[in-house]
Amino acid sequence: MKLKSQINDVIKDAFLKAGIEHAPMSVSEATKPEFGDYQFNGAMALSKKLGKNPRQIANDILDHLDFTGLLAKAEIAGPGFINLWLNPLWIAAQCESAGQDTRVGVERRKNPVKVVVDYSGPNMAKQMHVGHLRSSIIGDTLANLLTFLGDDVIRQNHIGDWGTQFGMLIAYLEEMQNDGSVSLKDLEQFYKDAKGRFDADAGFADKAREYVVKIQSGDTHCLGLWQKFIDISLGHCEEVYEKLGVNLTRDDVRAESFYNDDLGNVIEDLRTNGTLQESNGAQCIFLEGNEVPVIVQKGDGGYLYATTDLAALRYRAQKLQAKRIAYVVDARQGGHFKQVFRVAKEAEFVPEDVKLEHIAFGTMMDKGGKPFKTRDGGTVKLIDLLDEAVVKAKETINNKEEYSSEQIEELAKIIGIGAVKYADLAINRESNYIFNWDKMLSFEGNTSLYMQYAYARIQSIFRKYDGQIEGNIIIGDALEHRLSTMLLRFEDVLMRTAEDASPNQLTTYLYELVTLFMRFYEQNPILKEGVDEETKMSRLLLADLTAKTIKQGLDILGIKVVDKL
């Protein structure tokens, strides 16, 4: 439910009745429990416009507030804050219906948006490394979230499958094939070996260069080899996606090469409806206020990634009809996207009303604040990182005797992968992020394990109680009041998270929810002796809705829960 907008409606109504025309600003959550559940701060802002003192305005609104529905009480405080208390009976009823809803009370969007989420984008020449982690999981979360809210989401994996290095790679692949010793298990090694051949053998180097030209001119033999190479490499990526629980399939792949045939058209169209200029032999667009131009065609006739991105933007806006296009890409490419977006709009490749966004994120650092590398300074392969996460997770599992080795393996995967994802999603995506195994695999603090633990704890209550749950939620104390209000905020949080593409807003919410639940759980016994039936039912219903909300929230983040830890 859209709690905030419902409260806003009540405020707006009071404004109209008070004869104030200005559209009031929105309420916000109270900063402290003493200040109620929500607060309205608009009276101060309106004071100048209306030429009245803010407390007077607040009074006028208060006089016309409707207390027959969701509001129970309102007070004016300080210079003109209006503190609002929700009606416990109303909250309880809303929680009851949310508990019965498969979407925990979250409505499906009435006006869905067609949105492209571009993420992951690995390079086919190499193995996926830690640099792809953030894009893959932030992008996947965004796509999951928008899908859940009801948008029409098109996932796009813009893989790098084109460029000069492929000449070298397929020439080497052909050589290995002839030897009968194709080994593409380790792409990194394959690349190194090919590079070794390239540097050592002039004949091989010539062949590699010749193959580049051949692929580009559509030579079937070379294209066949290239396709084979891409298939295998993509297979490696899919293995990573599977482990990571990222919802990308082959259908989502729109590789760089997909746009090849359109690149010439892009240049031509830029010439006619853009401001293409030749400079030092290259085709450029000089944007006002920018020192460096956007180069779309090299002096030798070759195209660049700006060209491909323009073709992709046009495809997404015109063919796919997307109204929002989000690129989940490293913050360092901010300048590039700023330019490309501007060119795309100015050349009318993308209509004015289409929202183009660069969902930028910071770099992954080690404990010492340096870019994340292996001990010998190489890049860390993503698959190795994930395997390590599972191994480390295994060490945290208590009561290993209770489980079979398969169960431990399964559990470790859920815990380990969840920890890696949650740690990443829980921080502001734009800042650099410090990767720390101990912290992410801890049961304490804002971690996935703490959430999974809370979920399992609730499930254990329901294992113990096997009767029917029939009854109503009765809000009996301040803690239950806060917990249930928090539960009703879920949709508001999801909306804002989607708007800003900032998963950490969702993790912060889940953490606060779980913290509240833990306190509630310590303080308010559910199944203990002496708890009357009515209270028991009420608390079971609250626990149930909490568990469902945790599960749904983690599901959007791509993190699994288990009934038993």
Nearer to RNA, 163 or 471 (CB): 163
Task: Specify the residue for token string 């993420």.
Answer: 119
The CB-of-160 to RNA minimum distance in angstroms stands at 5
Site for RNA in 263-282 (CB under 7 A): 279-282
Nearer to RNA, 69 or 445 (CB): 445
Residue (of 176, 157, 156) closest to 168 by Cα position: 176
The CB-of-181 to RNA minimum distance in angstroms stands at 29
Could you write out the three-class secondary structure of 200-262?
HCHHHHHHHHHHHHHHHCCCHHHHHHHHHHHHHHHHHHHHHHHHHCCCCCHHHECCHHHHHHH
Nearby residues of 487 by Cβ (< 8 Å), 6 or more positions away: 95, 98, 513, 542, 545, 546, 549
Nearer to RNA, 475 or 565 (CB): 565
77 binds RNA (CB under 7 A): yes
The CB-of-58 to RNA minimum distance in angstroms stands at 11
Which 8-state DSSP code applies to residue 444? S
Residue in 426, 473, 498, 557 binding RNA, rule: CB under 7 A: 426
Listed ranges 175-183, 315-323, 511-519, 546-554: which one lies at the site for RNA (CB under 7 A): 511-519
Site for RNA in 521-550 (CB under 7 A): 521-528
Site for RNA in 150-209 (CB under 7 A): 160, 163
Nearer to RNA, 179 or 499 (CB): 499
466 binds RNA (CB under 7 A): no
369 binds RNA (CB under 7 A): yes
Nearby residues of 210 by Cβ (< 8 Å), 6 or more positions away: 167
Site for RNA in 302-321 (CB under 7 A): 302-305, 308
Residue in 113, 223, 383, 434 binding RNA, rule: CB under 7 A: 434
Residue in 62, 89, 469, 518 binding RNA, rule: CB under 7 A: 518
519 binds RNA (CB under 7 A): yes
- Record the tokens describing residue 39, joined without a space: 């607060």
φ/ψ bin of 164: left (φ > 0), alpha (ψ from -120 to 50), beta (otherwise):
alpha
Distance (Å) of CA 385 to CA 107, 133, 422, 484, 560: 37, 10, 15, 39, 19
Residue in 439, 476, 482, 535 binding RNA, rule: CB under 7 A: 439
Residue in 69, 224, 235, 335 binding RNA, rule: CB under 7 A: 335
404 binds RNA (CB under 7 A): no
**Cβ neighbours, 10 Å, residue 396:** 16
- What is the total residue count of the chain? 565
Type of residue at 98: A
Residue in 57, 537, 554, 565 binding RNA, rule: CB under 7 A: 565
The CB-of-86 to RNA minimum distance in angstroms stands at 14
Site for RNA in 35-74 (CB under 7 A): 35, 39, 41, 44-45, 47-48
Residue in 66, 430, 477, 534 binding RNA, rule: CB under 7 A: 430
Do β-strands 324-330 and 355-361 pair in parallel, antiparallel, or remain unpaired? Answer: parallel
The CB-of-343 to RNA minimum distance in angstroms stands at 14
8 binds RNA (CB under 7 A): no
Number of residues that bind RNA (CB under 7 A): 92
The CB-of-182 to RNA minimum distance in angstroms stands at 26
φ/ψ bin of 290: left (φ > 0), alpha (ψ from -120 to 50), beta (otherwise):
beta
CA angle 263, 266, 271 (to 5 degrees): 135
260 binds RNA (CB under 7 A): no
| Site map 16..35 versus RNA, x via CB under 7 A | ----------x-xxxx---x
431 binds RNA (CB under 7 A): yes
Listed ranges 95-103, 132-140, 179-187, 334-342: which one lies at the site for RNA (CB under 7 A): 334-342
Q: Could you give the residue ranges of the DSSP H alpha helices within 64-132?
A: 88-100
Residue in 79, 196, 235, 351 binding RNA, rule: CB under 7 A: 79
**Cβ neighbours, 10 Å, residue 216:** 16
Do β-strands 355-361 and 433-434 pair in parallel, antiparallel, or remain unpaired? Answer: unpaired
**Dist CA 35 CA 501 (whole Å):** 29
